[in-house]
């Protein structure tokens, strides 16, 4: 069992064993090798159909291509040849041509006519990105719908607001969740804009002029776009990759918000806080050695995605510097990076649905925490009640003093206030109790919740 020899006997097939944890089945399906080949077949079919319609190539090519299915292609062999060809399209087109040649040898010369590798690859991944973005839009919609009902349910559930991880005045759980919802609503808008602006046809031939098609370029382009239900851009964009960078940035932002949700959840679920919990399920979140453990597995997925997404977005931005009419290095850097980012985003959205769909809440613990440390979290409320009488600055200083005393003497804020002659000079016991009532210190909470819900047609 020495370590140097042990790999020899192993298969070298690269798997993705973490897919079930970090990705979602839907996204994995969109980006499987077969799915990509299917998209590439679809492009070549649409191209042939367009060329036939414009009379550039003989009739029958599109039909011959359509007769080829992904199962007729040897993906492993195509992948292997990519190492020499430098891109997937060359061995793919060769394999497709061979398939067509078997049935219609006289037509096989018209496969991929006038297009270049980048046309079929870029357009095919755009088709994948459209599918994946559409799925993400749906997921965001589903999460927003869940959140609408959670926000409504926990509209008035009090818990401490927390800043710098220190308790502050109260918020409601509904408000916290409304903040999540508010951000996700903006992400939906961004996804929609990315779908519209970024998922467009790439078709330009060798150097982006479609020279091989002579005058037919614009007409063929229009037909290919129609065949693939893709918008037609003003011009080919082989080395202008801002559209892909925008998709990446949009996913990166979504992962950022989901990471914030994961952070919040995992903090609320801490043993010492224990205010809200990920749903429990058999075999979920256990430990291999600690019997009592319930690990926040979904939160860890959200957080891991948020840690990983920024580097991947940076890569997509760095790869934008592509040379002249078709680049070297930058283009290749995109191929695995953007699908990876989609995997993480898809997996994080699935984890978010688990959390949000099944969160359990301990409202009592939340309320209890408002009373910690003598209830100093409401010091601001008293400070403002006092400020109305003696000005904010003096009130603030007075309360700083009183809260320090609370800490040192281990008494409650109420007791400390009542025992301060200076404060009692300006506030009555009733005013103090009123200030210390968290329900009365929620300010605009309800208004905010209503505004956010209104955008979902609720509230």
Catalytic residues: 287, 326
- For residues 349-368, which are near a second copy according to CB under 8 A? none
Rg of the Cα atoms in the chain: 30
Q: Does 217 bind a second copy (CB under 8 A)?
A: yes
Cβ pair 133, 49 in contact under 8 A: no
Q: Does 259 bind a second copy (CB under 8 A)?
A: yes
Q: Does 218 bind a second copy (CB under 8 A)?
A: yes
Tell me, residue by residue from 27 to 66, as one string, x for binding to a second copy by CB under 8 A and - for no binding: -xxxxxxxxx-xx--x--x--------------------x
Question: Residue from 156, 239, 420, 434 that binds a second copy (CB under 8 A)?
Answer: 239
Q: Among residues 344, 127, 151, 333, which one has the least CA distance to residue 254? A: 344
Q: Considering beta carbons, is residue 22 or 154 the nearer one to a second copy?
A: 22
Q: Does 1 bind a second copy (CB under 8 A)?
A: yes
What residue has token string 């309360």?
399
Q: Among residues 310, 314, 338, 330, which one has the least CA distance to residue 240? A: 330
Q: Does 22 bind a second copy (CB under 8 A)?
A: yes
- For residues 73-112, which are near a second copy according to CB under 8 A? 75, 78-86, 88-90, 93, 97, 106, 108-112
Q: Does 228 bind a second copy (CB under 8 A)?
A: yes
Question: Residue from 321, 360, 429, 437 that binds a second copy (CB under 8 A)?
Answer: 321
Cβ pair 111, 97 in contact under 8 A: yes
What is the CB neighbour count within 10 angstroms for residue 107?
Answer: 21
Q: Does 428 bind a second copy (CB under 8 A)?
A: no
Q: Considering beta carbons, is residue 207 or 424 the nearer one to a second copy?
A: 207
Stretch touching a second copy by CB under 8 A, among 148-156, 257-265, 417-425, 426-434: 257-265
Say how many CA atoms lie within 13 Å of 436 toward its Cβ.
19
Say how many CA atoms lie within 13 Å of 139 toward its Cβ.
27
Q: Does 423 bind a second copy (CB under 8 A)?
A: no
The three-class DSSP label of residue 361 is strand
Structure tokens at 421: 């002659």
The three-class DSSP label of residue 286 is coil
Tell me, residue by residue from 279 to 318, as one string, x for binding to a second copy by CB under 8 A and - for no binding: --x-xxxxxxxxxxxxxxx-xxxxxx-xxxxxxxxxx-xx
Q: Within 104-171, where are the H helices? A: 117-153
């Amino acid at each position: 069992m020495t370590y140097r020899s042990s790999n020899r006997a192993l298969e070298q097939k690269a798997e993705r064993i973490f897919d079930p944890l970090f990705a979602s089945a839907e996204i994995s399906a969109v980006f499987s090798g077969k799915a990509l080949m299917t998209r590439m077949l679809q492009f070549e079919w649409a191209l042939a159909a367009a060329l036939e319609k414009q009379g550039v190539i003989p009739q029958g090519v599109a039909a011959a291509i359509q007769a080829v299915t992904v199962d007729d292609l040897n993906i492993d062999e195509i992948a292997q040849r990519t190492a020499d060809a430098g891109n997937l399209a060359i061995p793919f087109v060769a394999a497709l041509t061979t398939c067509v040649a078997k049935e219609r040898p006289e037509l096989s010369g018209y496969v991929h006519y006038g297009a270049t590798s980048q046309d079929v690859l870029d357009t095919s991944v755009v088709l994948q990105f459209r599918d994946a973005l559409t799925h993400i839009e749906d997921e965001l919609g589903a999460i927003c719908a869940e959140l609408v009902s959670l926000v409504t349910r926990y509209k008035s559930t009090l818990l401490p607001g927390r800043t710098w991880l220190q308790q502050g005045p109260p918020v409601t759980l509904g408000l916290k969740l409304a903040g999540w919802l508010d951000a996700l609503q903006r992400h939906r808008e961004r996804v929609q804009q990315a779908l519209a602006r970024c998922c467009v046809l790439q078709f330009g031939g060798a150097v982006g002029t479609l020279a091989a098609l002579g005058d037919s370029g614009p007409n063929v382009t229009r037909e290919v776009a129609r065949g693939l239900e893709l918008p037609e851009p003003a011009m080919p964009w082989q080395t202008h990759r801002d559209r892909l960078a925008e998709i990446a940035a949009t996913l990166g932002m979504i992962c950022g918000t989901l990471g914030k949700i994961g952070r919040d959840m995992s903090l609320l679920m801490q043993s010492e806080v224990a205010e809200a919990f990920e749903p429990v399920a058999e075999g979920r979140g256990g430990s291999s050695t600690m019997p009592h453990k319930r690990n926040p597995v979904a939160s860890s997925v959200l957080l891991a995605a948020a840690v990983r997404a920024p580097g991947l977005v940076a890569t997509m931005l760095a790869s934008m510097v592509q040379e002249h009419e078709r680049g070297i290095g930058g283009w290749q850097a995109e191929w695995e990076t953007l699908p990876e980012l989609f995997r993480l985003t898809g997996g994080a959205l699935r984890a978010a649905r688990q959390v949000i769909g099944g969160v359990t809440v301990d409202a009592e613990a939340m309320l209890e925490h408002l009373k910690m440390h003598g209830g100093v979290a409401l010091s601001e409320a008293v400070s403002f009640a006092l400020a109305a009488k003696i000005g904010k600055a003096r009130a603030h200083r007075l309360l700083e003093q009183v809260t320090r005393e609370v800490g040192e003497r281990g008494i409650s804020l109420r007791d400390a206030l009542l025992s301060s002659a200076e404060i009692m000079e300006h506030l009555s016991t009733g005013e103090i109790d009123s200030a210390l009532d968290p329900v009365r210190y929620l300010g605009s909470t309800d208004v905010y919740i209503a505004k956010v819900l209104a955008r979902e047609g609720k509230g």
